[in-house]
Chains A and B, each alone.
Chain A
Amino acid sequence: DQQVKQNSPSLSVQEGRISILNCDYTNSMFDYFLWYKKYPAEGPTFLISISSIKDKNEDGRFTVFLNKSAKHLSLHIVPSQPGDSAVYFCAAKAGGYNTDKLIFGTGTRLQVFP
């Protein structure tokens, strides 16, 4: 059972425009969400996170939106740059000590073209 779903395996966006990556989750106990970016032959690197007590978090060109009622979050990249081309993973975790492992989605490959 995939608790974190990224239904779009790939996305292609022109440089300068907005990239929107989507993520859905099923576990209502998730209270913290993260986005990771992964380049080929490298491990994922942390990008941005959001707590369930917020509905928006912004860091430079990256903004994450959380809609708890819809169990949906999205990552907006504005403006998109060629260096943003990578695989983006959505991850979530539930509170508590023994259950705080991160659950990852399957990833969305973003390609930003000139």
Chain B
Amino acid sequence: EAGVTQSPTHLIKTRGQQVTLRCSPISGHTSVYWYQQALGLGLQFLLWYDEGEERNRGNFPPRFSGRQFPNYSSELNVNALELEDSALYLCASSSDRINEKLFFGSGTQLSVL
């Protein structure tokens, strides 16, 4: 069974640009979570989608947004990139709404120059 897959694995952008990251959850999982891991910091919660709806978002500005598609895959969009957006973006999925255990993808390493 395939795990959580994320694309691309690496990305280099410049300030002000926009980026879209993609995530495919484990088959049968309806919840998708996005986390940001900046250098020296823990995993910071970004967004949670379940059944196609945004259920919760972390303390990030509105230029961080996303969506979940009918097949439960998800996109994370970041507009007007800033240098501090450079980080590893991790997607995770779970099979129920009480996310006792998350399954993570390998992440997308975003560098903003």
Of B41, B56, B100, B107, which contacts A101 at CB under 8 A? Answer: B56
Residue B97, interface by CB 8 Å: yes
Q: Contact at A101–B104, with CB atoms within 8 Å?
A: no
* Interface set, chain B 54-105, CB cutoff 8 A to A: 55-56, 58, 90, 92, 97-105
| Chain A residues with CB below 8 A from B90, complex form | 43-44
A2-B42, A41-B106, A101-B56 given; 5 more Cβ-contact pairs under 8 Å:
A34-B100, A97-B98, A102-B43, A103-B45, A104-B45
Q: Give the nearest-CB partner of A105 in chain B.
A: B42
Q: Give the nearest-CB partner of A9 in chain B.
A: B40
CB within 8 Å for A100 and B98 given contacts A42-B106, A43-B4, A43-B107? yes
CB distance from B10 to the nearest CB of A (A): 10
Residue A106, interface by CB 8 Å: yes
| Chain B residues with CB below 8 A from A6, complex form | 42
Of B97, B102, B104, which contacts A97 at CB under 8 A? Answer: B97
Q: Contact at B98–A106, with CB atoms within 8 Å?
A: no
CB within 8 Å for A46 and B101 given contacts A89-B42, A104-B35? yes
Residue A4, interface by CB 8 Å: yes
